[in-house]
């Protein structure tokens, strides 16, 4: 048994010389010290020894185990160190190599235009306010002077959740929300998403963007509305752009006007974009209907106001010469990444 022990130790020494990697080392360890290992076999055969022989043999075996464990551990450390070094060498990076140019993202044309329009109006002292897209019938229609059964409701094919809750069909409910919570002077704009049950085509989408503008103060007149929108058009498209106001109708404004701009494509000469007229329609506007002021708790004998609503997709399409609205929503990066703010 004594010799056997010696032999195991010698064998381990020899075999350790040949070990190259940690998995080979582990199998060697199991071969000697594992459950079925050679040292364990010797321990098992201790039963054959006499009671007097056992303690001395036990000590020898323990000593041999310690000794071999130490050798194995020492080798494990060496192998780990060399494996780590090999790994580091294999993963060496040349930090001086040039990197591929990072792909640059870009803003969506509708976002670009919203930022631009917001900039123009905040420059004139307007404040940006927000409103919910899931809106109450009360704000979207009732306070905008569009009671139930009013024909104007048909013009805006509405997505309803139930009798009272809907997806807002325009940004005008933010007018009502603002007037019911603030006192004049009010000077706000509200860009945001609106929804109408329209079929998708070159000029329609069930989701699009509008921007609402609202001014309420003492002595606000139609001249203020015209001046503000004229300044807006010139800031956005250039000083040679003129505005034209045509009588129109909205239940929430009285009087109401559609606003045309000099065609930005041909500068008034007449082209395909303006269908030869030299003008393009971009805005709905008017003086806030005194009835709306009153419903929102504002004294219409003391205050007056104007409001306007403009479609952001329309502005973006004119700005970038886009002829089909669908291009704005299809997410084709080859198209979108060509359009940048200037
Ligand atoms: N809310 C109107 C629309 O969606 C636009 C508008 C806003 C008109 C404000 C007048 C005043 O068509």
pLDDT digits (tens, 9 = 90+) for 280-329: 999 999 999 999 999 999 999 999 999 999 999 999 998 888 889 999 99
Across 96-231, where does the E strand assignment appear? 127-128, 134-136, 165-167, 186-195, 207-217
| Ligand 1 binding pocket mutation candidate from 166, 168, 172, 192 (most atoms within 8 A of CB) | 172
pLDDT of residue 129: 97
pLDDT of residue 61: 84
Position with higher pLDDT, 134 vs 202: 134
In this prediction, residues 167-173 reach a mean pLDDT of 96
In this prediction, residues 213-228 reach a mean pLDDT of 97
| DSSP state string for 153-171 | HHHS---BSSSSEEE-SSS
Is residue 247 packed enough to be buried (19+ CB in 10 Å), middle (13-18) or exposed (0-12)? exposed
pLDDT of residue 155: 63
Q: Name all residues whose Cβ lies below 6 A of ligand 1.
A: 170, 172, 212, 250, 253, 284-286, 307-309
In this prediction, residues 243-251 reach a mean pLDDT of 96
Which tokens hold the place of 294? 């009153």
Start-to-end Cα distance in the chain = 91
pTM, two decimal places: 0.71
C-beta pairs of 106-109 under 8 Å, 24+ apart in sequence: 106/336, 106/337, 106/339, 106/340, 107/340, 107/341, 108/328, 108/336, 109/316, 109/319, 109/320, 109/322, 109/328, 109/336, 109/339
Eight-state DSSP code of residue 277: S
| Contact (CB, 8 A) for 6 and 32 | no
Q: Phi, psi at residue 38, to the nearest 5°?
A: -65, -40
Q: pLDDT per residue over 53-68, tens digit each?
A: 888 888 888 888 888 8
Q: Phi, psi at residue 166, to the nearest 5°?
A: -150, 170
Ligand 1, residue 284: give the atom nearest the CA.
Answer: 8
In this prediction, residues 213-236 reach a mean pLDDT of 96
| Contact (CB, 8 A) for 186 and 148 | no
pLDDT of residue 21: 85
pLDDT of residue 100: 87
Q: Could you tell me the distance, in angstroms and rounded to a whole number, from the CA of residue 336 to the centre of ligand 1?
A: 28
Nearest CA to ligand 1 atom 5: 309
**Burial readout 17-30 (b: 16 or more C-beta within 10 A, e: otherwise):** eebeeeeebeebbe
In this prediction, residues 22-28 reach a mean pLDDT of 86
């Amino acid at each position: 048994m004594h010799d056997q022990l010696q032999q195991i130790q010698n064998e381990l020494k020899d075999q350790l010389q040949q070990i190259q990697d940690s998995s080979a080392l582990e199998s060697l360890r199991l071969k000697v010290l594992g459950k079925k290992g050679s040292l364990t076999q010797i321990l098992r055969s201790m039963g054959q020894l006499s009671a007097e022989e056992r303690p001395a043999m036990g000590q020898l075996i323990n000593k041999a185990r310690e000794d071999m464990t130490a050798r194995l551990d020492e080798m494990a450390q060496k192998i780990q160190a060399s494996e780590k070094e090999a790994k580091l060498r294999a993963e060496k990076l040349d930090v001086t190599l040039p990197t591929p140019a990072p792909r640059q993202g870009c803003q969506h044309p509708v976002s670009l235009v919203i930022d631009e329009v917001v900039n123009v109006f905040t420059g004139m002292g307007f404040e940006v306010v927000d409103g919910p897209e899931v809106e109450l019938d009360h704000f979207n229609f009732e306070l905008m002077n569009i009671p139930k059964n009013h024909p104007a409701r048909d013009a805006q094919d509405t997505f309803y959740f139930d009798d009272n809750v809907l997806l807002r069909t325009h940004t005008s409910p933010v007018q009502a929300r603002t007037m019911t919570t603030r006192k004049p002077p009010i000077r706000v704009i509200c860009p945001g998403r609106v929804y109408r049950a329209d079929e998708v085509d070159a000029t329609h989408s069930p989701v699009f963007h509008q921007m609402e503008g609202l001014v309420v103060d003492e002595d606000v007149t139609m001249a203020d509305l015209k001046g503000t929108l004229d300044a807006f058009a010139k800031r956005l498209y250039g000083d040679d752009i003129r505005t034209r106001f045509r009588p129109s109708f909205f239940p929430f404004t009285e009087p109401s006007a559609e606003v045309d701009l000099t065609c930005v494509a041909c500068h008034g000469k007449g082209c395909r974009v303006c269908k030869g007229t030299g003008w393009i329609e971009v805005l709905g506007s008017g003086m806030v209907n005194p009835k709306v002021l009153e419903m929102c708790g504002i004294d219409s004998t003391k205050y007056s106001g104007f409001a306007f609503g403009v479609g952001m997709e329309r502005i973006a399409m004119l700005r970038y010469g886009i002829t089909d609205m669908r291009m704005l929503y299809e997410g084709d990066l080859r198209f979108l990444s060509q359009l940048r703010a200037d």
